[in-house]
Amino acid sequence: MTFYDAHNHLHDHRFAGRQADLVAASRAAGVARMVVNGSCESDWPQVAALAREFPDLVVPSFGCHPWHVGQRTPRWREILAGFLEATPRAVVGEIGLDRWKPGLAYDGQEEVFIAQLRLATERNLIASIHCLQTWGRLWELIRATPRPVRGFILHSYGGPAEMVPPLAKLGASFSFSGHFMHERKARQREAFKLVPADRLLIETDAPDQLLPDAENHHPLTDAHTAKPLNHPANLPVVYQFLAHLRGVPLAELAGQVEENFRRLFPQ
């Protein structure tokens, strides 16, 4: 059985150069492909390097995350377009809107989000979207802005269950993360019971969105701070949890997610 990670950050500095070991463990766990999302201009070259090193595994994704909007340079959009043009199989992400992070300015987020969504639309590339506490405004912007024909992904979807059907009509796919395995995430889990099977994806968001300790089969820590990190090889556990949640055999879920992933990210 093979597994597909719709969203992670394999390049993250907290992995401290252990990427080859992470890849080896992920392959051994059955991970066939993973989308590695850049978040800012400074990390896009690292994502591109991983795509060159592991071309059969890594789907490179480049975007300006809302947490980094304030650090963008005047040429950010031109630089982003250059990475999309120069990197085979590249897609757009992580982009989005965020009113959750304390102290984060909202100014500029919508402008940068719309510019990137349009860039994805011009090239008909998947866009991976982050949204925290801005679902109403995201809904308005997505309806008003041209969207990629291929669709877009709502990474670690935490929005209301009632928004699943209308967002799906606009072309959304919904990615389930292992963080939703925590008991306090019951609301998010209920939303994923409503996601159409052909719009379902699964992710780790490694090194973030830790699984419950009892389900963490690949313990990992930050080499500098000793804080726990999420390992991308934890992906099969997330599949198993979601299969149980949706009441389907694991093999059936894995086959459907593979079909969805391959449609969105053709090799």
**Predicted confidence band at 203 (pLDDT cuts at 50, 70, 90)?**
very high
Rounded to the nearest 10°, the torsion over CA 60, 34, 140, 66 is -60
Long-range residue pairs from 16-23, CB within 8 A, at least 24 positions apart, any chain: 16/222, 16/223, 16/224, 18/223, 19/50, 22/206, 22/231, 22/232, 22/233, 23/54, 23/57
Cα–Cα distances in Å, from 172 out to 31, 116, 140, 153, 166? 23, 16, 14, 6, 9
**Predicted confidence band at 236 (pLDDT cuts at 50, 70, 90)?**
very high
Q: What is the pLDDT of residues 145-187, one digit of tens each?
A: 999 999 999 999 999 999 999 999 999 999 999 999 999 999 9
Which domains, ranges and CATH numbers included, belong to the chain? Answer: 3-264 (3.20.20.140)
Q: Read off φ and ψ for residue 113, nearest 5 degrees.
A: -60, -50
CB 74, CB 34: distance < 8 Å? no
Q: Which of 216, 199, 149 shows the shortest CA–CA distance to 6?
A: 199
Rounded to the nearest 10°, the torsion over CA 134, 137, 154, 78 is -100
Q: Which of 93, 87, 75 shows the shortest CA–CA distance to 37?
A: 93
Q: Read off φ and ψ for residue 202, nearest 5 degrees.
A: -135, 145
How is residue 123 annotated by DSSP? Answer: H
Q: What is the pLDDT of residues 62-121, one digit of tens each?
A: 999 999 999 999 999 999 999 999 999 999 999 999 999 999 999 999 999 999 999 999
Beta-bridged to residue 31, according to DSSP, are 3
CB 143, CB 153: distance < 8 Å? no
Percentage of the chain surpassing pLDDT 70? 100
CB atoms inside a 10 Å sphere around CB 155: 27
Q: What is the pLDDT of residues 240-255, one digit of tens each?
A: 999 999 999 999 999 9
CB atoms inside a 10 Å sphere around CB 107: 8
Cα angle at 83 between 78 and 85, to 5 degrees?
Answer: 90
pLDDT over 90 (residue 223): no
Q: Three-class SS of residue 31?
A: strand
Verdict on whether the full-model pTM lies above 0.85:
yes
Q: What is the pLDDT of residues 28-48, one digit of tens each?
A: 999 999 999 999 999 999 999
d(CA 51, CA 34) in angstroms, rounded, equals: 10
